[in-house]
Amino acid sequence: MSTVRISDDAVARACGADRVSDAFAKLGWTVERVSSWGMHWLEPLAEVNGVGWGPVTPDRVAEIAEGGADDLCIGPVAVHPFIASQQRLTFARAGKTRPLSLDDYANSGGWAGLDRARAIGSEQVLAEMAQSGLRGRGGAGFPAGIKWQTVAKAPGDRKYVVCNADEGDSGTFADRMVMEGDPFALIEGMAICAHAVGAGQGYVYLRSEYPDAIAKMNAAIDLAAERIAPFRMEVRVGAGAYVCGEETSLLNSLEGKRGEVRAKPPLPAIAGLFGQPTVVNNVLTLAAVPHILAEGGAAHYDALGLGRSKGTMPIQIAGNVRHGGLYETAFGVTLRELVYDIGGGTASGRPVKAVQVGGPLGAYLHPDQFDIAFGYEEYAGADALIGHGGIVVFDDSADMAAMARFAMEFCAAESCGKCTPCRIGSVRGMEIIERILAGGRKADAVEVLPQMHNVRDADRSLEDQVALLEDLCETMKFGSLCALGGFTPYPVLSALRHWPEDFGLTKQAVPA
Amino acid sequence: MNRIEDIVLRHADREGPLLPILHDVQAEIGAVDAATETRIAELLNLTRAEVHGVVSFYHDFTAKADPRPVVQVCRAEACQARGIEAMMRGAENAAGDRVRIETVYCLGLCSVGPNARIGDDLHARLDSDALAKLVEEA
Ligand code: SF4
Ligand code: FES
């Protein structure tokens, strides 16, 4: 009897993998549901003896079963250029293992990191984590080893490991893929962390928009309970608030409170969940840990990457792109390579206009900037951020003024309300952009109410409005408590600088 | 009100149980109304204001039940880059008053958009016709 491997990742399922699986099963085939290789444009991808067909529709299944359907055949999957050109550490198992099979996990090197961590003891684990140079993959890029050391040293009755799985950024899905495709890797990473810092309880804070990931993580935690004991883990489901991806508001949410951001200090590492020392790390950060702790991993990790951006980054290629999916590689790759060579240009076939890197709070990069190397410092130098490693491609039909307005609207909708620059500034920001689009503003009835004594009587020119928007963005950048209000200026100002014509402005109207 | 007590009891031994309780209430009763907030507050030894503050903060909880079928459409950047905005009018026409269309910001399927979710079923690579059909059949 023949066996076909088909992913049960949410992308594959959304593209019809269940129906394709059923069609194979009807023919009497054994269907093995595995994780996704990350070649999303080919999903659902059917793999028979290592050879792949995709994207498969149920009506093509009979042909594939007979070895035909050459137009869909991509040859051996493992050597496909998209896969072969990657450096996969976090996603080493992607496409190869059944997500909830403990046997598959153990047979592919699983638990080696935890076993070694238990053998060498907490001090040594902390030292190796620091040596590896692993930086938090959630956005800010804070070194994980330092965070762990702080928690290990902090006095507290209980300690916690919290996994930030609130992957709310548009264009990012690597966390979801880890949780759906390789959940034991995350569990192992958290268990190693717990062992190193002395935590008894772990939480995975997972957004409610990811039903498949919630189900997989719950099942995987049950299956692994014995292996990670005495450490205990639980999934906690968010309730649709973007800001809960911010670590301190996530902690409030976990405690059952409004997801308002907390002022730091105290750092969560000193007083985090329920006031106790807490490690808060992103999914990708924790899932990178088993590899680092397994023999020789730390040195290997340290040798990869660019400058202080160590190791690999799972880059998520999304939006209007032909070959969208997950691409893990060492830092240093350029956007030009990602968008054109790897991503194959736009799906629409039209010219690329802009690429937003790092989620809804990330800057829009212009094709002139596509040679910047992927790295924390390199992006910061270009007034941009890599965030969680998502890139969203736009073709020339995109209206960048609309995107800038949307960034402000998103900030207004998702603001936790704690600070004025974010809560009020985002609403004002929308208004100013609308006024720019309307060509400036007359001193109108609203503006000259009799009780207002210091109102200006001249009309505001376009230039005035632009200056006002820039001023507001400065205030948001420096006056906001967290990244939502503080980073929203990135997409807004980058859109304004690079595409002034979309705002009805000339280049001169926008100072660089 | 017994159902509320059952739900609260179910989560009683968890740390910070309010969110899981509210999720279950929302799923089983369809909304978290004022009376429910008061009851949960009593059982957890909180004030109603504290519970209301949480309920009103999160998009997933609603004060009034709405029995209509829901289609969640992603309108975040990656789906916008693939043209979701131009498809919305058709979807809204198809929905009329019968179906509720909800905006979500990202379903994590950004490489195969535009995307929508109905219950726990995900739908990718939508075009105007496919989205309108989804709404009609919801
Ligand atoms: S910047 Fe916005 S989301 Fe962040 S703390 Fe301030 S109000 Fe809340
Ligand atoms: S942006 Fe629509 S699924 Fe992510």
The domain limits of chain B are: 3-57, 70-137
Q: What is the mean pLDDT of residues B90-113?
A: 96
Look at residues A217, A253, A209 and name the one whose alpha carbon lies nearest to residue A234: A217
B79 has a pLDDT exceeding 80: yes
Mutation choice for A interface testing from B77, B103, B126 by most A CBs within 10 A: B77
> Cβ–Cβ of B58/A240 closer than 8 Å?
yes
CB A166 within 8 A of CB B60: no
Domain positions in chain A are 3-85, 102-303, 305-395, 400-503
Instruction: Return the percentage of chain A with pLDDT > 90, whole number.
Output: 82
Q: What is the mean pLDDT of residues A24-34?
A: 97
Question: If you measure CA to CA, which chain A residue comes closest to B77?
Answer: A170
CB A510 within 8 A of CB A496: yes
Question: If you measure CA to CA, which chain B residue comes closest to A250?
Answer: B19
Using a 6 Å cutoff on CB, does residue B107 contact ligand 2? yes
Mutation choice for B interface testing from A170, A217, A236, A350 by most B CBs within 10 A: A170
Give, for ligand 2, the residue of A9, A170, A326 to mutate: max count of ligand atoms closer than 8 Å to Cβ. Answer: A170
> What integer pLDDT is reported at residue A452 of this predicted model?
72
Question: If you measure CA to CA, which chain A residue comes closest to B125?
Answer: A15
Using a 6 Å cutoff on CB, does residue A252 contact ligand 1? no
**Helix extents (H) in A363-488:** 376-381, 400-414, 420-437, 462-479, 483-487
Average pLDDT score over chain A: 92
> What integer pLDDT is reported at residue A373 of this predicted model?
92
CATH code for A102-303?
3.40.50.11540
Mutation choice for B interface testing from A41, A175, A209, A400 by most B CBs within 10 A: A209
A453 has a pLDDT exceeding 80: no
CATH number of A3-85: 3.40.1050.10, 3.40.30.10, 3.30.420.40, 3.40.50.720? 3.40.30.10
CA distance B130 to B132: 6
Distance from CA of B127 to the nearest CA of A (A): 13
Annotation: CATH topology of B70-137: Glutaredoxin (3.40.30)
A306 has a pLDDT exceeding 80: no
Residue nearest to atom 4 of ligand 1 (CA): A482
Look at residues A170, A201, A352 and name the one whose alpha carbon lies nearest to residue A276: A201
Using a 6 Å cutoff on CB, does residue B104 contact ligand 2? no
Which of chain A's residues have a Cβ under 8 Å away from the Cβ of B14? Answer: 234
Residue showing tokens 């250029």: A81
Fold match between domain A3-85 and domain A400-503: no
Q: A133-155: per-residue pLDDT in tens?
A: 888 776 667 889 999 999 999 99
> What ipTM does this complex have?
0.96
> Cβ–Cβ of A319/B115 closer than 8 Å?
no
> What integer pLDDT is reported at residue A160 of this predicted model?
98
Q: What is the mean pLDDT of residues B129-135?
A: 96
Q: What is the mean pLDDT of residues A206-233?
A: 97
Q: What is the mean pLDDT of residues A311-331?
A: 93
Reduced to 3 DSSP states, what percent helix, strand and coil does chain B have, rounded to the nearest 5?
A: 50, 10, 40
Q: A255-264: per-residue pLDDT in tens?
A: 999 999 999 8
CA distance A374 to A385: 10
Annotation: CATH topology of A305-395: Ubiquitin-like (UB roll) (3.10.20)
Q: How many Cα atoms occupy the beta-carbon half-sphere of B57 within 13 Å? A: 29
Which of chain B's residues have a Cβ under 8 Å away from the Cβ of A319? Answer: 77-78, 81-82, 110, 113
CB A286 within 8 A of CB A190: yes
> Cβ–Cβ of A258/B76 closer than 8 Å?
no
Alpha-carbon distance values, A150 to A66, A128, A158, A252 (Å):
59, 15, 14, 21
> What integer pLDDT is reported at residue B12 of this predicted model?
87
- Name the token pair of A495: 């859109």
Q: What is the mean pLDDT of residues A312-317?
A: 92
Instruction: Give A505 or A494, the one with higher predicted confidence.
Output: A494
Q: Among A325, A360, A392, select the one facing B81 at the smallest CB separation.
A: A392
Residue nearest to atom 6 of ligand 1 (CA): A419
> Cβ–Cβ of B22/A239 closer than 8 Å?
yes
> What integer pLDDT is reported at residue A308 of this predicted model?
62
CATH architecture of structural domain A400-503? Up-down Bundle (1.20)
> What integer pLDDT is reported at residue A296 of this predicted model?
60
> What integer pLDDT is reported at residue A302 of this predicted model?
60
Instruction: Return the percentage of chain A with pLDDT > 70, whole number.
Output: 93
Distance from CA of A403 to the nearest CA of B (A): 8
Calculate the CA A30 to chain-centre distance. Answer: 34
